Amino acid sequence: MLNVRLFQMKSFIPMPYEEALAPRLKIADQWLQSGSGKGGEFTGWVNLPRDYDREEFDRIRAAAKKIQSDSKALVVIGIGGSYLGARGVIECLCSPNYNLKKKDTPNVYFVGNGLSGDALYEVMELIGGQDFSVNVISKSGTTTEPAVAFRFFRERLVEKYGAAGADRRIYATTDKARGALKSLADRQGWETFVVPDEVGGRYSVLTAVGLLPIAVCGVDISGLMAGAAEMMEVCRRGGSDCPAWRYAAARFQLYHTGKKVEILGSFDPSFRFMAEWWKQLYGESEGKEGKGIFPASVEFTADLHSMGQYIQQGERILFETVVRMGPSGHPMAVPRDESDGDGLNFLAGRDMDFIRDRAMEGTLLAHSEGGVPNLIVETEDKSPRSLGQLIYFFEYACGLSGYLLGVNPFDQPGVESYKKNMFALLGKPGYEELAGQLKARLENQ
Write down all domains in the chain, each with its CATH number in brackets: 3-37+224-405 (3.40.50.10490), 47-219 (3.40.50.10490)
pTM equals 0.96
The closest alpha carbon to 285, from 374, 143, 414, belongs to 414
Residue 243 has what DSSP assignment?
A: H
Q: Residue 414: its pLDDT value, please? A: 84
Half-sphere exposure of 422 (CA within 13 A, CB side): 9
Q: What sign does the dihedral 398-404-409-414 (CA atoms) show? A: negative
- Cα distances (Å, whole numbers) of residue 421 to 95, 115, 117, 138, 258: 38, 15, 21, 21, 34
Catalytic annotation, residues: 284, 419
Q: Residue 8: its pLDDT value, please? A: 86
| Phi, psi (deg, nearest 5) at residue 148 | -65, -45
Low-confidence residues in the chain, pLDDT < 70? none
pLDDT tens digits, residue range 90-141? 999 999 999 999 999 999 999 999 999 999 999 999 999 999 999 999 999 9
Angle between helices 243-255 and 384-405 (to 10 degrees): 40
Q: Residue 10: its pLDDT value, please? A: 84
Q: Residue 372: its pLDDT value, please? A: 97
- Cα distances (Å, whole numbers) of residue 34 to 39, 46, 79, 234, 403: 11, 9, 30, 16, 13
Q: Residue 417: its pLDDT value, please? A: 83
